[in-house]
Amino acid sequence: MATIQEILDKNRAIDDIIKDLKETDIEIPEWDTLEKEYNPLLHPVMDTALYQDIVDDGVTTKVSRVVQDMQRLAVKRMTELAVGIPVKRNYYPKDEQQKEVAKYFEAIFARNRIDSVNIERCNQLYASCLTLTLWYAKEEQNSVYGFDSPLKLRCRNYSPMLGHHIYILKDEYSDVIAISVGYEVKQGTKKVEHFHTYTSDTHTVFVKNEGGWERTDEPITIGKIPAVFTCRPAPIWENTSQIVYEIEWAMSRQGNYIRANSKPAFGIFSDEDIDYGSEKDYMDRLVLQLPKGSDARFITWEQSNEAVKMYVEFLRSSFFTQLQLPEFSFETMKTTPMSGEARKMIFIDAQLKVKEEAGRLLEMFDREVNVVRAFLHVMLPSDYAEAIDALEIECEITPFTINDERERIENIVTACGGKPIASQQQGIALLGWSDDVDKTLEEIRQQDMTDLSEPSF
């Protein structure tokens, strides 16, 4: 296999270079195919060629088309379960300088609104099966991270659902040697094709103009590909789209029946002929002269909704059950009375699902920490280098659930014979209100000493 340096050789034709860069080992479904399932307006019930309106004597009657946005709901629900509680980065500093570096890490992630970034890229992952985040630096003197820096860090998400084509090139050892992103940029009335390739030492930009491809090379000084990605072989809704389609067909057909039969008809039951249909005014219908023994009344359609309702509810329940996702819509929670403990239990399957998905996410988050670590080497003075490398950081995903911490703590305290189960320092850390636990604890102690020294009257 050719090395990345051989692939990017400037003596080669650009078309050949791009062709080689597009050789990717990652196999995921095409977004054009997935979008037909993800977007409810592209579902079969909306296809006018497959499901046609009724045309009678030149008059078109619209048929009922009821769609269910359940694939998008599954994406949102999985994202909420995985990162609805923000991903936590646990730092284990061994000295004051490492504590300082830990604050810089958190400042960088906070300034880039990493919690919102996580929600966006999880939505992209579970819908299009692939998401990529590029970290880049802008030359701008600032102190927003708690130290003077010549650079500002930014990040940007790429995904097939945004029109980006992402290619991951690996070597024979399955190590990533290049990440490429292709997309179109609108310039005036024209669309210009861009193709960016990132390696550990070079950012190569290919732009296709009317005269052909143009190439630009920029150095990457952090010694690492400044991008992280993750993928999965199928969207989060997996093989349940047929269930959604069946719900849509059932509800649409029921809509047609209701529309055709719900209008009341006026019936006259008599053995003699009745003169009707010649009334000149609606008021004439207020008086009817019928033979003795006749009957006249409105006739309404006595439909049985239970069968359709049970069928749709069964399909909807099957959708969430197969995906291991909880159905905690407002309507479900309102009509199903549960205790607090019972509500916790409905999240067990979902928590197992998050644990299953956590592996690929944690791998991406850990790589991202290392990318930011590499940027900090450039942004901070050289005497911080050892602390940056030595600082241990662990990312943690907390599946969303309904917890009653008070009940849990009371149970543990009871089991311990009523004795404390945590130090004050641990309590401050667990609460999460303080950015510096040691400083907060010292301030509390000083306040206690002040209160003891003040005279009481």
Is the pLDDT at 437 greater than 90, yes or no? no
How far is the C-alpha of 267 from the C-alpha of 283, rounded, in Å?
A: 18
pLDDT (average), residues 179-183: 95
Output the pLDDT for position 190: 87
* Better pLDDT: 344 or 225: 225
pLDDT band with cut points at 50, 70 and 90 for residue 314: confident
Q: Give the rounded distance of the alpha carbon of 355 from its chain centre.
A: 16
Secondary structure in 3-state letters for 391-434 = CEEEEECCCCCCCCHHHHHHHHHHHCCCCCCCCHHHHHHHHCCC
The Cα 170–Cα 214 span in angstroms is 25
In the prediction, which pLDDT does 449 show? Answer: 78
Q: Is the pLDDT of residue 242 over 90?
A: yes
Instruction: List the beta bridge partners of residue 265.
Output: 299
Q: To the nearest whole number, what is the mean pLDDT of the chain?
A: 85
Residue 111 class from Cβ within 10 Å (0-12 exposed, 13-18 middle, 19+ buried)?
middle
Residues 6+ apart with CB under 8 A from 187: none
pTM of the model: 0.80
Which of the pair, 19 or 25, is modelled with greater confidence?
19
Residues 6+ apart with CB under 8 A from 156: 133, 134, 136
pLDDT digits (tens, 9 = 90+) for 350-373: 888 899 999 999 999 999 999 999
pLDDT for position 267: 67
Give per-residue pLDDT as tens, 186-238: 888 888 999 999 999 999 999 998 888 999 999 999 999 999 999 999 999 99
Q: What is the pLDDT of residues 253-270, one digit of tens each?
A: 888 887 776 666 666 676
> Per-domain residue ranges for the chain?
4-238+351-396, 406-452
pLDDT, tens digit, for every residue of 76-112? 999 999 999 999 999 999 999 999 999 999 999 999 9
One-character DSSP codes across 23-81: --S-----HHHHHHHHSGGGSGGG-TTTSPPEEETTEEEPPP-----HHHHHHHHHHHH
Give the whole-angstrom CA distance, residue 102 versus residue 436.
Answer: 11
With cut-offs at 50, 70 and 90, classify the pLDDT of residue 146: very high
